Chains A and B, each alone.
Chain A
Amino acid sequence: MPFVADLATPGGALLVLAIAVPAIGVLAAFALGSRHAARIAIAVVAAGFALAVAVAARVLADGAPLVYVLGNWRPPLGVALRADGLAAVMMLVTTVVLFFVALFARADFATPAGVRDARAPLVFWTMLLAILAALNVCFLAGDLFTLYVALELLTFAAVPLVALDGSAETLRAALRYLLFALAGSLLYLAGTALLYGAYGTLDIALLAGRARADAATTVAAALMTAGLLAKTALFPLHLWLPPAHAGAPAAASAVLSGLVVKGSYFIVLRLWLDALPAVITPAAAQFIGALGAAAIVFGSAVAIAQPRLKLMVAYSTVAQIGYLFLLFPLAVGLAHPEATAITGGMLQVASHATAKAAMFMAAGLVYAALGHDRVADLTGVARTLPITVAAFALSGIALIGLPPAGGFVAKWLLLSAALATAQWWWAVVIVVGGLLTACYVFGVLGRTLATVDPPPPRGAVTRGREAVVLGLAIVATVLGFAAFAPVDLVQVGRPPVAGVPR
């Protein structure tokens, strides 16, 4: 059983390291200055990946979650870190994406020669590491208050990335993001206060056993969820997301869209599946699924109409976030919930994180080459940047959900869950969403593949950077081979039948 955290398990110290290493990295980067920050960041992210692999291997080998109890104080007094299959998968995805993004960003955030310390590179690299630390706390924290701290840390690390160039426009966008995220935090905090008042604990495992379906718990769940949705930018609460992407550097957008919104999403998952499964009702799951469906249709429609590539990709995120929420009606509050829905949903998270990060970086290279990213004027880019366009195509295929990409397996599992639970309407949404994605992906691809003489300029785009983007796109493409794995990591630590109080 998960979250029966009486004592730390062997290997639990890995979890502390997963949080402490990036935190130390932040301090080291500040101390040594921007000249060394890039190297520190890449080394720390690589170490983070190694730790994630170690945690995943441990979780798989044990077939049970890893637990570490800070200072040996048991919950509810103490704070526990727990890594189940869900957390291990998220740690892996996060570190892989961050690694590719860091390699990609070296060129954009190098400290110029002759300058001792540059502001933008220092901020970028330290915030990148702070995001890693915050996300790992999101994935590992065992209580709702630590999760609140992680959420705040995540927001404060992400906001500066939006305004790296310091222009008035990006500052406005950053402020917009900050204020809306703060509103979300307030709602979340209010919810935790209600829960603490009612049950005297915020520990997820203890709450799962104690939570009653009363008014206070209902209000708490609603407030916390709404707050998290605001931070996740689920339609129609996406006001901050498009402007935040409009002026952010490609690497920052990749992190923001690929990873940061997954942090708050993951907490919704924890809240609904692990903390309050006895409180959440199917009607609520249908409602949140409906928001997801609206996000898919609406986000895609707006993406199709975007004149700028980057904003098109940003609205694609609005649509794809909707996909993530289809997990809830398929996994929560049913008499016979489908375990495949959770695996499918997590695979969708991984697929979107890798594919979308690759897509933003590809769009960034296109911008760097052409000096613009007007969709209408992308003709012939495939001649100039074939590797970048190949990366865009592969990540697009992953988003559409064609095999062998992870998105395909995710789609298969979600469809299977929808049909097995006789909820055919979600199957329709899943299929239509893929087709709408195809509209904008192939619309762009068709333009880039057109012949134009002379081919557009290449600018200063190096083959190395193109290769990094292609590498991440290939990761997204081969994620489907997760289906070949003999064991399902996601399910480790899930109860035999999810959604039933423990």
Chain B
Amino acid sequence: MTEFLLVATPGLPLALAAACVLPAVRVRMLPLLALAPAPGLVAALLAVHAPPATFGAGLYRPTFALDAPGALLLGVAALLWIAAGAYAATYQRGAANPGRFAVCWLLALAGCLGVFVAADMPLLYLALALLTLGATGLVFHDETPRARRAAALYIGLALCAESLVLVAMVTLASATPDGSLLIRDAAAALPAMPGRDTTLLLLIVGFGVKAGLVPLHVWMPLAHGAAPMPASAVLSGAVVKAGIIGLLRFLPVDSAIAHAGSLLAVAGMLTALYAVAVGITQQHPKVVLAYSSVSQMGFVAAVIGAGIAHGDAAMPLLAAFYAGHHVLLKGAMFLLVGVVAATSADRLRGTLVLAAVLAVGLGGLPPTGGFIAKYAVKGPLGDGWVATAAAVSAVGTTLLMLHFVRRVQTVAATAPDARAAPGLAGPWLAMAAASLVVPWALYAMLPLGTAGDAFAPYALWAGLWPVLIGGALAIALARWGAGLPRVPDGDVVVVIDGAVRGASAATPRAVAADAVLRRWPAATLLLVGIAAALAAAITAGRG
């Protein structure tokens, strides 16, 4: 049973995507999108710590399994995919190319959930590849020049990142006992393997791109800003967690790699703070949210890094818990943007109040889900500079999210009496409720800590003061923020743009060189030259 669930988690979305070969199925797929993540949700509840499901008897045996951090993230990700799928059925109704949207959605879904259940390295790579292809299609979907550029940047960076991960995987596979391809064995072999630090760097940079660590975060504001609303929700909420689970699974809590943990903590905290600084200069609410995601993923990376550096064995589950809250909350916030865009300004009050509570919750306002998430990771963060930076980042997050709440009002519908369709409002409210309730439910269910301690006055005050300062700063930003420079979304993407321009300029030169090389005199000389060079190489090599 659990074997079936684990395989069906990516299998059902893939099967639905394959069924889209038939045009009649393709055009009717939108309403089914909300059902596709169902096996994942059930698997998250039933298949935790079930024996791994292994198939075949050959040299490579694909293996599916679910550990506790993976199950946690899988469950909340499946929830978001369900809500966003239902939302998409309304949001994309009547839009162009419903078939293409559905196929890309299902591929991204299969990859996203597959990442959590893949227990061996080739399978994980397959899931990452599916995720990249599907997500690129979603970013591309609206076909505006912005969307095209964002899609190209996304797939380029994602493939580069996956290449680094691939090299790391191949290296790890040579270090595991009996050449095992299991991620668990790879992580166990990592601390003592030859070439450890190179492999660590490949893993941190590779998964760091997927999670949006600065300076490789540039694709996130662009992609999440350009995708259709429900797609932005899953990209920013669930898809970026592929990088997090990668870091969690491959980097063991082991004192031998404490230095890598410290590096990750520094990179994470830099990301968390930098993204806030750039985010408050942004005007479009989706881009503001995307910068908030960059910041939050930096925070999670810092939790992971600090946990490794301190040797905190409880870190993986706690980091997954924090990331899980972000899945729900950020998903809800993106769905909100679409709801606001369909509602007239004078009907928005209740929605905005709820949004503001959730927004400040991400900064740690007691007793929201964000408060308990922040409280849970205090252990791995320790009480050194990382903890201080974490408090500063909570201030920044409050500020950034309040900035978002202010900016989101600018997209409200202009038609008087406009009201969001139930198909949009329903999923948004469901996700909003989930982001408040599910973290507490998980906290009660899992061995994370006791709820009573979280309500100690000191803990409440620790959650509250960053929110108060952040709120004050947000008022200041609203009053005097107009003077801030306008940073283009994607900030340092200009560097990549320059590199791409340079490389593109090289291709005509290659074409010109090709024309020369393919002339008879050149080719004949080269033929003779290569024969001579080969003779020389054979002789020289012998000496």
A residues touching B (Cβ–Cβ < 8 Å)? 180, 183-184, 187, 213, 215, 218-219, 221-223, 225-227, 229-230, 236-239, 242, 279-284, 286-288, 291, 298, 301-302, 304-305, 333, 382, 386-387, 390, 400, 402-404, 408, 411-412, 415-416, 419-420, 427, 431, 434-435, 438, 442, 446, 449-451, 483-486, 488
Contacts and interface: CB of A to CB of B under 8 A. Distances in A.
A446 B151 contact: yes
B510 A427 contact: no
Interface in B107-161: 122, 125-126, 129, 133, 136-137, 140, 143, 148, 151-152, 155-156, 159-160
B537 A283 contact: yes
Contact of A403 (B126, B171, B542): B126
11 contacts: A222-B535, A225-B534, A283-B540, A288-B534, A301-B506, A400-B159, A402-B126, A403-B126, A427-B170, A431-B163, A483-B60
A462 B60 CA distance: 39
Interface stretch (B182-190, B437-445, B514-522): B514-522
Contact of A333 (B126, B167, B534, B541): B541
Contacts of A333: 541
Residue of A184, A227, A442 with highest tally of chain B CB at under 10 A: A442
Nearest to A297: B510
A441 B494 CA distance: 24
Interface in B478-520: 506-508, 510-511, 513-514, 517-520
B143 A420 contact: no
A450 B506 CA distance: 27
A419 B538 contact: no
A383 to B, nearest CB: 8
Contacts of A431: 163, 166-167
Contacts of A402: 126, 129, 133
A305 B511 contact: yes
Given A283-B538, A283-B541, 5 more contacts: A221-B534, A225-B534, A402-B133, A435-B159, A484-B59
A46 B59 CA distance: 30
A416 B60 CA distance: 15
Contacts of B97: 451
A136 to B, nearest CB: 28
Nearest to A304: B507
Interface stretch (B275-283, B459-467, B524-532): B524-532
B100 A237 contact: no
Given A236-B526, A419-B171, A486 B538 contact: no
B119 to A, nearest CB: 15
B19 interface: no
Contact of B155 (A236, A404, A442, A485): A442
B58 A486 contact: yes
A453 to B, nearest CB: 9
Given A283-B540, A435-B159, A446-B140, A298 B171 contact: no
Contacts of A446: 140, 148, 151-152
B24 interface: no
Interface residues of B, number: 63
Contacts of A427: 167, 170
Contacts of B532: 222
Contact of A237 (B133, B507, B519, B530): B530
A177 B112 CA distance: 49
B167 A302 contact: no
Nearest to B56: A484
A223 B531 contact: yes
Nearest to B121: A412
A281 B542 contact: yes
A291 B541 CA distance: 17
A330 to B, nearest CB: 13
Contact of A180 (B140, B522, B523, B539): B523
Contact of B58 (A242, A283, A387, A485): A485
B533 A488 contact: no
A106 B75 CA distance: 52
A284 B537 CA distance: 5
A213 B542 CA distance: 8
A435 B519 CA distance: 29
* Chain B interface main SS type: helix
B511 A302 contact: yes
A291 B173 contact: no
- Between B133, B143, B517, B530, the greatest number of chain A beta carbons within 10 A of the residue's beta carbon is seen for B530
Contacts of B526: 236-237
Nearest to A183: B527
B537 A287 contact: yes
A282 B537 CA distance: 8
Contacts of A242: 518
B60 A484 contact: yes
A314 B21 CA distance: 29
A420 B167 contact: no
Given A416-B173, A484-B60, A301 B126 contact: no
A317 to B, nearest CB: 14
Nearest to B132: A402
Contacts of A283: 537-538, 540-541
A365 to B, nearest CB: 17
B541 A415 contact: no
Contacts of A486: 57-59
A236 B525 CA distance: 10
Contacts of B166: 411-412, 415, 431
B170 A221 contact: no
B395 to A, nearest CB: 40
Interface string B173-209: 1100000000000000000000000000000000000
A438 B527 contact: no
B96 interface: yes
Contacts of B137: 449
Contact of B517 (A180, A222, A239): A239
Contact of A483 (B21, B59, B524, B539): B59
A431 B165 CA distance: 11
Given A222-B532, A281-B540, A449 B167 contact: no
Contact of A419 (B96, B140, B148, B170): B170
A283 B524 CA distance: 23
Contact of B507 (A226, A302, A403, A435): A302
B541 A284 contact: yes
A446 to B, nearest CB: 7
B508 to A, nearest CB: 6
Interface string B12-33: 0000000001010000000000
Nearest to B23: A386
Nearest to B531: A226
B354 to A, nearest CB: 36
What are the 4 tightest A-B residue pairs by CB atom distance, in nearest-first order? A281-B541, A283-B541, A226-B531, A222-B535
A218 B171 contact: no
A449 B508 CA distance: 26
A365 B21 CA distance: 18
B538 A218 contact: yes
A239 B507 contact: no
A242 B519 CA distance: 12
Contacts of A451: 96-97, 143
Contacts of A434: 159, 163
Contact of B538 (A229, A281, A411, A416): A281
